[in-house]
């Protein structure tokens, strides 16, 4: 690391190159080509996997196990109101030691750190054991239908197994490396329609108000303790994200009530159990309803082992800081990789400004992140 001048760092230079690509989901906008060109120079075989409108990159160096995989995404969320930004979100700027740009935290700087770390490691250990791979998609911030999940299906079909996977999601909270994610909660969504009977408010006996008849069931769903979590996961949570009913008129009893809700759940309960308990509550309250379920992610957990220990060691060596394991937050593409049997860990920059106007990272964190990634490779693959 060039401690005297972090503005000269290779990680920053590559970050700037990637940040200049307006790669809003599902557009990759040349980011994967930029990464692939550099990796190819270091012995990686490049395989582009395009499914529908989504670009995916699978790059691998070596053919033997164990296989260490860097995973991440080049797509970013939309910018929002451009006038609210202090600078063009796709013309990155450094102000007061912070690098501003859409994707700076989530997660193009991590991608840059991965590539730089790999280049340095391969230069030092050209005959390293096992293999190194990259699984990069442009469909993580979108529906996640034609991205990582499709690549994993392809790899599974040809018996190509990942041993360890490091996802570059922004995991840090206050200081670089203070938190790493060794798992994620499951996510179960529901679209519930309660059926009533529309009528005039002056003649309520001729109508059935779905808001009234649903209120006690909804309150019970909100008050239910679904589980108590465990040493790795907090208790399962139930959250209503939308309730809608009515015609907009003050003198009409609505005919239906629609509500959207989500479970973020631990490994103490299954999606099927949550569905069954929800239906029992709705049925017990005598409601006429339709419900549609969408499972957007199973919970996964990587217990303390080779990958977790390598990350802990690397973070302490580079930053002098002990890290904490966490399973909080939303979903990530790790949910598609972990079911294959891979150990999965998320480690990246601070997440305080992800998806926000004026998204940014600390410039001084970029080279240390590359050093952490390189040290993890040393711990797992150096001869």
- Residues known to be catalytic: 75, 140
> How far is it, in rounded angstroms, from Cα 336 to Cα 25?
19
133: closest CA among 107, 181, 167? 167
Beta bridge partners of 95: 98
Residue with tokens 């108000």: 209
**Beta-carbon-side half-sphere exposure of residue 75 (alpha carbons within 13 Å):** 24
The structure tokens listed for 71 are 């995973």
With contact defined as beta carbons under 8 Å apart, do 133 and 160 qualify?
A: no
Contact 351, 104 (CB under 8 A): no
For 301-354, the DSSP string reads: E--SSHHHHHHHHHHHHHHS---EEE--SS--THHHHGGGT-EEEE--SB-TTT
168 near 107, Cβ under 8 Å?
A: yes
Rounding to the nearest 10 degrees, give the CA dihedral for residues 308, 309, 312, 317: -140
- At a CB cut-off of 8 Å and minimum separation 6, what does 125 contact? 378, 381, 382, 383
Counted residue by residue, the chain has a size of 383
């Amino acid at each position: 690391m060039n401690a005297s001048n972090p503005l000269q760092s290779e990680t920053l230079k590559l970050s700037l190159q990637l940040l200049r690509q307006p790669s809003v989901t599902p557009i990759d906008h040349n980011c994967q080509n930029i990464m692939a060109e550099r990796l190819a120079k270091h012995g990686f075989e490049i395989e582009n996997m395009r499914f529908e409108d989504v670009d995916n990159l699978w790059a691998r160096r070596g053919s033997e196990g164990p296989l260490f995989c860097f995973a991440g995404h080049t797509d970013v969320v939309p910018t929002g109101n451009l006038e609210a930004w202090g600078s063009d979100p796709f013309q990155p700027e450094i102000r007061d030691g912070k690098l501003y740009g859409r994707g700076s935290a989530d997660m193009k700087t991590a991608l840059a750190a991965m590539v730089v770390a790999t280049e340095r490691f391969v230069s030092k250990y050209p005959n390293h054991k096992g293999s190194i791979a990259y699984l990069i998609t442009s469909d993580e911030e979108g529906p996640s239908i034609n991205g990582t999940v499709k690549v994993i299906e392809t790899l599974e079909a040809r018996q190509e197994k990942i041993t360890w996977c490091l996802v570059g999601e922004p995991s840090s909270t206050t200081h670089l490396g203070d938190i790493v994610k060794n798992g994620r909660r499951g996510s179960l969504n529901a679209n519930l329609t309660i059926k009533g009977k529309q009528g005039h408010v002056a003649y309520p006996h001729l109508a059935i108000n779905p808001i009234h008849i649903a209120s006690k069931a909804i309150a019970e769903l909100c008050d239910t303790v679904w589980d108590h979590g465990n040493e790795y996961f907090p208790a399962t949570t139930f959250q209503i994200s939308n309730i809608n009913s009515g015609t907009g008129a003050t003198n009409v009893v609505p005919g239906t009530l629609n509500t959207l809700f989500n479970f973020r759940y631990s490994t103490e309960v299954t999606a099927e159990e949550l569905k069954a308990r929800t239906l029992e509550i709705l049925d017990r309250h005598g409601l006429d309803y339709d419900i549609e379920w969408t499972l957007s992610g199973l919970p996964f957990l990587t217990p303390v082992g080779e990958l977790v220990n390598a990350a802990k060691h690397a973070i302490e060596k580079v930053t002098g800081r002990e890290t904490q394991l966490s399973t909080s937050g939303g979903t990530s593409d790790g949910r598609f990789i972990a079911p294959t049997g891979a150990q999965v860990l998320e480690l990246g920059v601070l997440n305080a400004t992800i998806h926000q106007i004026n998204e940014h990272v600390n410039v001084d964190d970029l080279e240390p992140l590359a050093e952490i990634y390189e040290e993890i490779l040393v711990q797992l693959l150096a001869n």
